[in-house]
Structure 1
Amino acid sequence: MAGAVRFYETGGPEVLRWETVDVGAPGRGEVRIRHEAVGLNFADTYFRSGLYPAALPAGMGVEAAGRIEAVGPDVHGFGVGDRVTYTGSPLGAYSTERVLPAEHLIALPGSIAADTAAAMTMRGLTAAYLLRRIHPLRAGDTVLLHAAAGGVGSIFTQWAKLLGISVIGTVSTEEKAEIAVANGCDHVVIHTREDIAARVRELTDGAGVPVVYDSIGASTYDASLRALSRRGLLVCFGTASGPVPPIDAMRLAVGGSLFVTRPALADYIADPAERAELAGELFAHVTSGRIRIAINQRYELPDAVHAHRELESGRGIGSSVFVV
């Protein structure tokens, strides 16, 4: 029998349960996958807490990598034994096996290990759309990136350097600052002891940056706006500290005709062709060694409660995965 993490009510990590489940056979357009590694993402806590809606009871997790064990009718492009990775709905990635629609799958090159794929598919595709779709960045631009030593931050910074983009990264500790610099951050702001916006202004001769990438949310929103240059763009792509406050349109005006966007990965990989393009670019960088994926935390699936507690503590560095 297969095992899976499920939750029957929203709340803290303690609502997660490890259960034995009957996977069943894939239906039309579906495949059954045996997972080899599962991604652990901060977005998982949003479903668990109720910030993101989920029909309960529900599985947990949206990212994993493994091999196809069975294929249902009307599945094209994939077969039994194929190595695949995926990210996105429906929930249920925290499992040893599962059935899911084949439309979510991404073929995994033989040069990329399953644990690497599980650690980077969501984070890497997030970095991809942030850098390649949100704003027309050019070599020589300087941007501000919060949580620069995190999973997305580590990939984003390495990729930005390949594009000739300078990165000012924020972190919470000296240890994380060293990691951010090693990944290519040009400047690091330790937000626990420095004024982020003031430091950004100092580093940019008072101009500010054209784009701020903010996955933190509530606690950094004000500083992010103050760090922007005239007609700058704040990209709110996460809410680790809580949702951003309601947008005050007049503040955007007096701050320099600023822009704010709240993108979601799902809308940038919904089109199969665009998803394939972004994934192809990501995989090429990883395969060549131009982007390194650091897996610094590994857990067993039955230890999901502990994993979520550590994830929300903010002590983690780089990417985290469940080994299956």
Structure 2
Amino acid sequence: MTDQIIWLNAPGDINQFHIEQHRCDDPGDGEIRIRHEAIGTNFLDIYHRKGIYPMPSYPAVIGAEAAGIVEAVGPGVSMFERGDRVAYAGPPVGAYRSARNIAAERAIKLPDTVSAKTAASSLLKGMTAYMLLKKTYDVHAGNHVLIHAAAGGLGSILVRWAKSLQATVIGTVGSSEKAALAASCGADHLIVGRGADIVSDVKRLTNGLGVDVAYDGIGGDTLLKSLRSVRPFGMAVTIGQAAGTIPPVPVEELRPGKALCHPSIMAWCADVGQYREAALAAIGAMETGIVSQIGAEYRLADVAEAHEEMESGRAAGSILLIP
């Protein structure tokens, strides 16, 4: 069977993508072939496309998560059979294609209650939320948490999951429409508008103390605002730079005793045991309704348009590619 594959010729803009017809080989030892039903997109894909996180060689195939049906099983695989519903996320990237061979240990069976589209839109983000809320900083009842881009794909999952842990959530959003979505996810307080005085608003909402932990995927000069919104001996976590490169942070900003952390879900997932722990936690969370809203769907061939929308920040929720 001939499939579509999206190649990235070199680091750069959306014009570096090209589509090719490609026949997926039979799976090798320890591998399965998955016929993709839905492919998730993440800001990580933009970093890979631009070369902020360069690929080992070019042309390359990017994309870090997808869900579908097991189409073939390679030698030595006993945990899957044809027809199983599965999803995967994390390294090695290469999901922008109709079908893919992948190591069986990287695939996770999906329960009947979780659709392929839900899994593809929420698995990597759910794994990231698990890492951030339970491993990077152990969020628990009574904590105050600041979540930037609270209506986004990751942000909405972080809001829902933090609320399930009985934390008080302060979210930032860019518009009243996104505020409504973040509120529907359970955010207790919302700071609306890109020009808002985040630090003052956070201090007002926490009686001058600041939050226990701030999750910042915005980057640019927002990280310094996040750090200044954290209480003494709290933590600011930088998880992206959607707004641009993060300028140097003076060490004096860490007084008195604030922590600054820069975790990587891809590094976490390089260990198979940690990967499966996070993936199973994310799927369990999906079964309870902790999912990302699907903001838009594009055909796989329209990947350039999907990247344009993702970068624009117009979409609330996750963007899917459908083969």
**TM-score interval, normalised by the smaller of the two chains:** over 0.9
Amino acid at match of 2:14: P
Matched, 1:230 2:235: no
> Could you say which residue in structure 2 is the equivalent of 1:250?
252
What is the deviation of 1:218? 1.3
> Could you say which residue in structure 1 is the equivalent of 2:48?
47
Distance 1:251-1:294 versus aligned 2 partners, 3 A rule:
closer
- TM-score with structure 2 length normalisation? 0.95
Distance 1:90-1:269 versus aligned 2 partners, 3 A rule:
closer
Amino acid at match of 1:43: L
> Could you say which residue in structure 2 is the equivalent of 1:115?
117
Q: Distance in 1 between matches of 2:24 and 2:285?
A: 35
What is the deviation of 1:292? 4.4
Greater alpha carbon shift after TM alignment, 95-104 vs 171-180: 95-104
Instruction: Give CA deviations for 1:209-236 in whole Å, capped at 9, x if unaligned.
Output: 1211001111311211110111121111
Matched, 1:313 2:315: no
> Could you say which residue in structure 1 is the equivalent of 2:198?
196
Aligned partners of 2:4 and 2:21 also within 8 Å: yes
> Could you say which residue in structure 2 is the equivalent of 1:124?
126
- Equivalent residue for 1:96, pick from 90, 95, 98: 98
Aligned partners of 2:151 and 2:317 also within 8 Å: yes
Aligned partners of 1:6 and 1:16 also within 8 Å: yes
> Could you say which residue in structure 1 is the equivalent of 2:175?
173
Q: Distance in 2 between matches of 1:193 and 1:118?
A: 33
What is the deviation of 1:24? 1.1
> Could you say which residue in structure 1 is the equivalent of 2:142?
140
SS of the residue 1:164 aligns to: coil
Equivalent runs, 1:74-89 vs 2, <5 Å: 74-89=76-91
Aligned partners of 1:4 and 1:92 also within 8 Å: no
Equivalent runs, 1:27-66 vs 2, <5 Å: 27-54=28-55, 55-66=57-68
**Which segments of 5 or more consecutive residues in structure 1 lack a partner in the other structure?**
none
> Could you say which residue in structure 2 is the equivalent of 1:281?
281
SS of the residue 2:38 aligns to: strand
Aligned partners of 2:118 and 2:291 also within 8 Å: no
What is the deviation of 1:189? 0.6
SS of the residue 2:6 aligns to: strand
Identity %: 42
- Equivalent residue for 1:71, pick from 70, 73, 95: 73
SS of the residue 2:136 aligns to: coil
* Alignment: residue pair count: 321
- TM-score with structure 1 length normalisation? 0.94
What is the deviation of 1:107? 1.4
Aligned partners of 1:68 and 1:84 also within 8 Å: yes
What is the deviation of 1:238? 1.3
Aligned partners of 1:42 and 1:311 also within 8 Å: yes
> Could you say which residue in structure 2 is the equivalent of 1:22?
23
Q: Distance in 2 between matches of 1:135 and 1:66?
A: 33
